[in-house]
Amino acid sequence: DAGITQSPRHKVTETGTPVTLRCHQTENHRYMYWYRQDPGHGLRLIHYSYGVKDTDKGEVSDGYSVSRSKTEDFLLTLESATSSQTSVYFCATWRGGSYEQYFGPGTRLTVT
């Protein structure tokens, strides 16, 4: 495992409020990813980072922004939460060389 933690693990918020999810890793992996997992859709990539301050969009990036100011932290922000963003959010990192991906425990977000 890559020593990945996510916070909070559970969150309930109201429509229209901003929300920030945090991913922290201890293995100094260069790449970090944010996914969402929904029934019927599987895992979908939101954003990813290939280094400090270097980020790129995934397939479902609308309504989300990310920041990475330190190697170990990758933040996902929902600028104005909507009910369609109710989901389980996973952070992942990539180890160099073999490019094996490791996942965090997930954050369950409910937008009411």
Q: Name the segment binding another protein (CB under 8 A); options: 11-19, 20-28, 77-85, 100-108.
A: 100-108
Contacts of 109 (CB under 8 A, 6+ apart): 10, 11, 12, 13, 19, 21, 78, 81, 85, 86, 87, 88, 89
Look at the chain and count its residues: 112
State the binding string over 59-88 for another protein (x if CB under 8 A, else -). ------------------------------
Q: Name the segment binding another protein (CB under 8 A); options: 17-25, 62-70, 73-81, 97-105.
A: 97-105
Nearer to another protein, 14 or 39 (CB): 39
Q: Residue 39 Cβ, how far from another protein at the closest point, in Å?
A: 10
- What is the rounded CA–CA span in Å between residue 5 and residue 28? 13
- What is the rounded CA–CA span in Å between residue 33 and residue 92? 5
Q: Which residues would be at the binding site for another protein (CB under 8 A)?
A: 31, 33, 41-43, 45, 48, 50, 56, 58, 90, 92, 94, 98-106
